[in-house]
Structure 1
Amino acid sequence: MGCLLAVTKSTYENGATLIIPGSHKWSPERIPKKEEAVPAELDVGDVLIFTGNVYHGGGANKSMYTHVHLKPLLDQIREVIGIFMVKGMYRPAENQMLAVPPEKAKRFSPQVQRLLGYGISAPSVGFYKYQDPMRVLFGVEDEETVNM
């Protein structure tokens, strides 16, 4: 879960976060297009809440003015506080993924790989490169593979 709190006014002009609504439902093959991005314009104190696997990123700050010495400078700044959360129960006490690195885990069955933490909790907790790590790291496509 992602949460952005506006500390200053956030506009398209000063680089508001760009978000692509519905992109969390796309297949891994789907590539985002620039024209699909929508600026999340926020007033001070406004909050944008979204799932972490929605395509998002900071926009470009285009709020320029010309300084007395003809040097362009930013006219506005955009400040947001980003908070990203995951339920504690989805995070193991011991990080098994680091205890058994991928090159060793490749030798195990998909069931053991998932038990080690390389799987994903639907709909999207534990993804890697916006995909199920079982697919990306081990090429596993089975009934437990999660399509985000």
Structure 2
Amino acid sequence: MNELNINYEGISSTRKVANIVTGIYLAAFTLYFTVTEGIASRFGFFFFCAIIGFILAAILILSNTLWLQGSILKIDTGSVTSALPKQSKVTIDWTSVSRVNIGISYIVFLINGEKKQRRLDLVTLRYEDVLATKAKIVEICEYKNIPYQND
């Protein structure tokens, strides 16, 4: 059974590589310029522009490597992992789910014998992704014999 992985990365991989190469070049150039101006004790306008350029290059590199957002929603036969915007990160293990209620733009997981509820609000997803998410939830519920209903 396939897993559903929804990821809204805004830029392509070739653009990421171009941004990283540009950032490394800019960082090296501005660092060289900052060091040479600092050694010569010329702390003028160009020195501070080079420092600002180095900071911007570091931000460019980090925003294309470490600061990339991972998947927003991941559903597989083991768990549901959600990092939807404006919601806390939630991981729901399918072994603890006793019932699922599916609404128009939300999914409620009743956990531990319906003592606890976890709600996923799908408003921030695209319509096609909402349909795919609901279909995957229904597919896994049928596979694991978990009762589900539409609200």
Q: Same fold (TM over 0.5)?
A: no
TM-score of the superposed pair, with normalisation by structure 1: 0.28
TM-score of the superposed pair, with normalisation by structure 2: 0.27
Higher relative contact order (CA 8 A, sep 6+): 1
Q: Kindly name which structure, 1 or 2, has the bigger radius of gyration based on alpha carbons.
A: 2
Structure with bigger strand share is: 2
